[in-house]
A and B are shown apart, each in its own frame.
Chain A
Amino acid sequence: MPDEQKISSLYQQGKDTNNPSAHLDDTILKMARDAAEDNVQNVDTKKNSENVKVKSPFSGSWPATASIAAVLIITVILVPLLQQEEASNSIPTTESIRLNKTNFEEDGDVYKDVFSVDNVEKKINKNVMMSEQAQQLSESPRVDLNDGLMYMPQNVINADALRSSNIGIKGGVNSAMPASVADVYHAPSTLRYQSKISTVNEFSPSAKKKISTDVLISSEFSQTIPLANEWLQEIKMLINQGYIEKAREELTKFKKYYPDEEIKSSILDQVMIDIK
C-alpha cells in the first residue's frame, strides 16, 4: 500500500528523539536493581536456611561412615575378643551357678531316690531287664542310616515271627532282601522296636550317667549288704562270742533288708527279741 508506506516512512524519518529523562531512567533502573537485590537476598536467605539444614549435626555423610566403622570394629575386634574371653573364663556366672544348683538338686533327688533300698532292687531288676532287651535287640531289625533301609535278622524274617510281632511288610520279605524303612514304619511293632533301640543305643549323656550310677550303686550294695546266709552266720558268731547287743542290732538290720527270710528260732531266742 503506497499510502501506508509513505506515512510510515514519514513517521520513521521524523521521529523525534523524545526519550525519558535521565532522572526517570535512573529511578526506574534503581527500582529494578533494588528488586533484583531483594531477589538475590531472598534466594540467599533460602540457600542459607538450606545450608543450615545441611550443616546440622545429624545430616551429612559422617553418621553413616561412623556407623559402618562402629559395626566393623564390633564385628572384627570385639566379638572375637568376647568369644575368647567367654571360652577362657572359668569363673561361673550367677546364671550358671543357679543352673548347676538346680541340676545338683535334681541329681540329688535321683541319688536320694537311688539310695533307697526299694529303688536299688528296682534298679537292679531294671538293669537286668535292659540287658535282656539289649540281647534281644541285637537280633532285631537294624536300620542303616546310610542307605535308609532296614535289614532284618534271620529269625525276624519268619512268617510266624512277623505275625507274632505284628510287623506288616508289604510284598513279603526274604532274608536276602532289605525291607524299606517306609514300609516298616507303618507297623505298630516297628515303633516298639524303635523305642527299644533308642532305649539301649541312643542314650543321652544324662541317661548314660544314670545307668553308670545304677551300676555303681548296685555294686556298692552288693559289697555292703551281705547275703542272707552269710549275714545269719555272722549273727550266730556274734551270739556265740557273747556280743548279744551287737547281734540284736545286726538281726534287726537283717530283718529289714531280708524281711521274707526265715530266721531260726534258736537265734531269735538267744537274742531275746521278738521280730514279727
Chain B
Amino acid sequence: MECEQNEQSDEELMMSYGDGNADAFEILYQRYKTPLYRFVQRQCYKQTVDELFQDIWLKVINARNSYQVTASFKTWLYHMARNRIIDQYRKNNIRIIDNNIDDIDTVENTSIAQPEKQLHTQTQYQTLLEAISELPPDQKEAFLLREEAGLNIEQIAETCGINAETAKSRLRYAIKKLRKKIGDSDYA
C-alpha cells in the first residue's frame, strides 16, 4: 500500500490527502520538505525560516479540500511558498524592485553585511551561498526554483506569474552575477 502510494504522482497524493488520507500528505512532505526548506532558508532570515516553512505547509493542509489539478503540485507548492515569502518581505518592510533587471537591488541586500570581506576565508561553496544571498530577490528566486525545486523556465514563469522570457532573463542575470562572484573569489 505504502509502495503504491510512493509511486503515485504528487497530484494524486494531494487529492488522496483531500479525501482524508494522512499518509499521502506525509509522502508529499518527505518529497518536498528539504528543497522547500532550503528554498525558504535561502531567501529569509534564519529566525523566520521555521515559521515560514510551517505556514507554507499549513496553507497546503488548509487547501486540501479545494485543491484542483490545474497545474503541477510542485509549481503550486512553490507558488504558495513564494507568496508567503513576499508577504514576509512586506511585513519586514523590504522593498522589492523587479521592473528593471539591470538595476535590481533590494533593501535586503544593503542590509546584509558585506560578503566580499568573508570570501577570502570561506570555501567556494560558501562563496556561492553568499553570492546567492546577495542576489536580488527575483533572481535569487528564479535560481532557487531551478536548483532547489528543479523547475524549468516555463514552470518558473508560471510559479512567479511572469512570462517565460522574463524568467529566463532573471535566471541568466543570476548566473552571471554568481559566476562573477565565484570568479572574483577564485581570483582573490
A residues near B, CB below 8 A?
A: 1, 3-4, 6-8, 10-15, 17-21, 24-25, 27-29, 31-33, 35-37, 39-40, 43
Contact = CB atoms under 8 A, between A and B. Distances in A.
Contacts, number: 87
Considering residues A17, A32, A43, which has the most beta carbons from chain B within 10 angstroms of its beta carbon? A32
A7 B20 contact: no
A119 B25 CA distance: 111
A40 B17 CA distance: 11
B64 A8 contact: no
B20 A39 contact: yes
A43 B20 CA distance: 9
Nearest to A30: B22
Interface of B: 17-22, 25-26, 29, 33-34, 37-38, 41, 50, 53-54, 57-58, 61-62, 64-65, 123-125, 128-129, 132, 146-147, 175-176, 178-179, 182
A20 B124 contact: no
Dominant secondary structure of chain B at its interface with chain A = helix
B34 A19 contact: yes
Contact of A28 (B21, B34, B57, B176): B57
A29 B176 CA distance: 39
Nearest to B28: A32
Contacts of B182: 7, 10
Contacts of B129: 14
Given A7-B179, A27-B54, A14 B128 contact: yes
Contacts of B179: 3, 6-7
B125 A29 contact: no
B41 A18 contact: yes
A39 B64 contact: yes
A10 B128 contact: yes
A27 B57 CA distance: 10
23 contacts: A4-B175, A7-B128, A8-B146, A8-B147, A14-B123, A14-B125, A14-B129, A18-B34, A20-B50, A20-B53, A24-B53, A25-B33, A28-B57, A29-B26, A31-B57, A32-B22, A32-B61, A33-B25, A35-B61, A36-B17, A39-B64, A40-B20, A43-B20
Nearest to A28: B57
A215 B175 CA distance: 136
B80 to A, nearest CB: 14
A24 B54 contact: yes
Contacts of B26: 29, 32
A8 B171 CA distance: 12
Nearest to A33: B22
